[in-house]
Structure 1
């Protein structure tokens, strides 16, 4: 039987309902019996999936889309005050609920695992959702990407466990009160909201303080920012801290990560026993994500050996080194990496998994503020590829910043010895790649924007 829907969310209207975070909450509410409605800038597979669940999805934003009987309006931090539906809600006195508050309400009565960190949240949350489902525990989950198996980013389950991706970008993860929390890494990002590493550490410390008394924090022992956070919060909270990684002092020790083509095998030492299991995506960082998932599930009482075996059921998540297809001997892979650390990790993973292959990258920078702060590092990361095509910056929620362009990345890449070219239009990319690629090459479409749409178009051009 579905838990009761909070009264204010029994007839919710979502502005931007097609977004990764918003759509997940909308799906769970619809599955719990709420009368869900919303709007999005364009039609999509996500919008169609919501309609199949009974939701009303309008395309475009207009005050008239807000139903007379709407009980609340759900927004994310990306929704601007001048949005006509938000303005209509204010005029009519309809409560406005932030996405994080809505998700927190859905998790209230569950045994929640919240996955946080600058990188790797979606993959780790997905690993837990898939493995716990494979064990018959029927968890609920809300993830920032679509699982390759179920093909969805959220589900209401009948079990007591709720797995959620905890977003630090706007401090919304302060709203959650999980029984178990994972912190994968701690780095400076989201520069429009955080001015310094000090603010980042304060924000993550606040998140740790939200763990339920007697709960567990699973945190990296290898990542410098995570280690500093562990030191800062020592003794402050009624929380058991479990560290994981390759560091000798890690509570859960990663002993070995062995590449197996585009997969890997990881061996970890947990509670004095070695556990070996497969990971369906390549790279050391994904193996570490799997070990974090193993430690978190074990902390919740899931048998270690059963969970390790179930983690092998994970077949990936959309946009995380996702193979889109092959044409004329060229494989096209999609990567969500948009921060230099992620870019480097994915490129190193592909290098290790496909030794001897040339790696070509189509990179679309994401956000002006991120490019302003990290453009040089992005360019340096691209030097790991054999050749790259760099697109203009994908603005998402931001307005342009004078002087901040893709040229910052291109100049840094060339200074690092990279072979890189600039394309101002997406339409020109398939032809450009067709002129560069040869059989045996790997092409990565990389970035958090709509660069993902290029994969099928590149494959079609390579097939010509």
Structure 2
């Protein structure tokens, strides 16, 4: 199946084209034949990959970067109203399209499978993309992170399935109308856009209500927030639950750690099914079961999909090994919410053997730190030692009184060995000086802390000589 190009998307201009979500949409449009252009604040490997597809990318934001004949301007919620290209679009009368609308238009005529949840979206979407591809179904997909090489976060496939990561942070997932929707968990996050857990519940209920007639909601039976979502839904929607709970439709009977892998046994339609998950941690095993249930809901044979899930070996920034020097492994983790931090630290603890876990953590967003700083500090107590950087602001302005000290104080109160670092160079020196042979170092957070991993490896190498 080869869906056509939406009329408004023939010559799109993306503001912030190098972002995880934006770049994937731009790539698919380019693969479908659109004349794609855009701008980003800085050059990156993702920008380079887009240019190789023929996409015109300007570095920096300026009014003259927007061509007068652009068919639309695509933005994310991170683009501020005073962006010069956005201002120029208004002057020229060029339509402005949110990235969620652009993604929704790409799903038309296909069988959309949308993955939502406070945590685990990127991993579960990636598992589905990889496994369905390995089965020869050639799905289209748009993921919030690269599978391996830069630009591998999206693909225009010839198959009828479109797998998409559905972002709840700005309610943009309300734009999709999936045949199958996955909700992994429902927790309070994105405090700049949601004032309460009640608003979160309402938002996920709106998303679930957009499932097409005859479609399926795949939802966790273990997570109370997800169960609450089911209680709020009208009768008539087909719901398939998964998890370790006794009443789960796809019940997890066991998760057996095997080094950096797990062997998972589930009960599905009255039959036991055992398969391998090639990444460590119970939470990743449960993500794989969610992917299994979702694929089966689309009609993919369970046994085939279970075997194919074993071909997934991880996505960038999700417990990704960056390298090893002087007997120390450096692993990158995107975890930035306390639940994610706890899950990744517990997963790594199971693979650490006798070594210590040393974390370099960068808090992400002032609003998240204000609301969840205590819980972040408690999570860091699971490590043997931690270094905490200043808050990565992303799209936010500072909030008076909100600093990394909130996390550090909470971590120390929980008995953690934690040190503050102001600046990447100081952090690299601290972590490299702390790490000993056999230790695992985690660079953790959703900001640019990932860029410090190579520096830690280099410093470890020089210290060992």
Q: Which residue of 1 aligns with 2:111?
A: 111
Output one character per residue of 1:72-99: Cα deviation in whole Å (capped at 9) or x when no partner: 0000000000000000000000000000
Using structure 2 for the length normalisation, give the TM-score.
Answer: 0.98
Equivalent residue for 1:460, pick from 451, 458, 461: 458
Cα contact 1:259–1:353 (8 A) shared by 2: no
Q: Which residue of 2 aligns with 1:326?
A: 324
Cα contact 2:221–2:247 (8 A) shared by 1: yes
1:220 aligns with 2:223: no
1:449 aligns with 2:451: no
Question: How many Å separate the matches in 1 of 2:333 and 2:237?
Answer: 35
Question: How many Å separate the matches in 2 of 1:332 and 1:119?
Answer: 23
Q: Which residue of 1 aligns with 2:418?
A: 420
- Give the count of matched residue pairs: 462
**Deviation at 1:356?**
2.1
**Deviation at 1:265?**
1.3
Question: How many Å separate the matches in 2 of 1:149 and 1:67?
Answer: 30
Q: Which residue of 2 aligns with 1:60?
A: 60
Q: SS of the counterpart of 1:314?
A: coil
Q: Which residue of 2 aligns with 1:250?
A: 248
Cα contact 2:23–2:151 (8 A) shared by 1: no
Task: Answer with 27-36 or 263-272: which moved more.
Answer: 263-272
Q: Which residue of 1 aligns with 2:157?
A: 157
Q: CA 1:394/1:150 → structure 2, altered by over 3 Å: closer, same or farther?
A: closer
Q: SS of the counterpart of 1:164?
A: strand
Q: SS of the counterpart of 1:338?
A: coil
Question: How many Å separate the matches in 1 of 2:46 and 2:414?
Answer: 40
Q: CA 1:234/1:2 → structure 2, altered by over 3 Å: closer, same or farther?
A: closer
Question: How many Å separate the matches in 2 of 1:48 and 1:226?
Answer: 39
After TM superposition, which residue ranges in structure 1, 4 or more long, deviate above 3 angstroms? none
**Deviation at 1:278?**
1.0
Alignment of 1:92-241 (within 5 A): 92-148=92-148, 152-235=152-235, 238-241=236-239
Q: SS of the counterpart of 1:366?
A: coil
Alignment of 1:244-283 (within 5 A): 244-283=242-281
Question: How many Å separate the matches in 2 of 1:263 and 1:291?
Answer: 14
**Deviation at 1:353?**
2.2
**Deviation at 1:355?**
3.2
Cα contact 1:261–1:353 (8 A) shared by 2: yes
Question: How many Å separate the matches in 1 of 2:293 and 2:111?
Answer: 15
Q: SS of the counterpart of 1:463?
A: helix
Question: How many Å separate the matches in 2 of 1:384 and 1:97?
Answer: 43
Question: How many Å separate the matches in 2 of 1:445 and 1:256?
Answer: 30
Output one character per residue of 1:141-190: Cα deviation in whole Å (capped at 9) or x when no partner: 00000013796100000000000000000000000000000000000000
RMSD: 0.9
Alignment of 1:343-362 (within 5 A): 343-362=341-360
Question: How many Å separate the matches in 1 of 2:115 and 2:30?
Answer: 24
Question: How many Å separate the matches in 2 of 1:315 and 1:226?
Answer: 27
Cα contact 2:68–2:92 (8 A) shared by 1: no
Using structure 1 for the length normalisation, give the TM-score.
Answer: 0.98
Question: How many Å separate the matches in 1 of 2:143 and 2:455?
Answer: 27
Q: CA 1:28/1:52 → structure 2, altered by over 3 Å: closer, same or farther?
A: same
Cα contact 1:372–1:404 (8 A) shared by 2: yes
Q: SS of the counterpart of 2:313?
A: coil
Q: Which residue of 2 aligns with 1:337?
A: 335
Cα contact 2:363–2:392 (8 A) shared by 1: yes
Question: How many Å separate the matches in 1 of 2:427 and 2:396?
Answer: 24
**Deviation at 1:361?**
0.1
Equivalent residue for 2:406, pick from 405, 408, 429: 408
Q: Which residue of 2 aligns with 1:76?
A: 76
Q: Which residue of 2 aligns with 1:311?
A: 309
Q: CA 1:72/1:41 → structure 2, altered by over 3 Å: closer, same or farther?
A: same
Question: How many Å separate the matches in 1 of 2:355 and 2:271?
Answer: 37
Question: How many Å separate the matches in 1 of 2:440 and 2:234?
Answer: 45
Alignment of 1:378-393 (within 5 A): 378-393=376-391
Q: CA 1:218/1:39 → structure 2, altered by over 3 Å: closer, same or farther?
A: same
1:372 aligns with 2:379: no
Cα contact 1:74–1:96 (8 A) shared by 2: yes
Cα contact 1:149–1:315 (8 A) shared by 2: no
Cα contact 1:320–1:336 (8 A) shared by 2: yes
**Deviation at 1:269?**
0.8
Q: SS of the counterpart of 2:58?
A: strand
Q: SS of the counterpart of 1:372?
A: helix
Cα contact 2:46–2:150 (8 A) shared by 1: no
Q: Which residue of 1 aligns with 2:284?
A: 286
Cα contact 2:117–2:186 (8 A) shared by 1: yes
Gaps of 5+ in 1: none
Question: How many Å separate the matches in 2 of 1:63 and 1:183?
Answer: 40
Question: How many Å separate the matches in 1 of 2:333 and 2:162?
Answer: 27
Q: CA 1:311/1:210 → structure 2, altered by over 3 Å: closer, same or farther?
A: same
Q: SS of the counterpart of 2:87?
A: helix
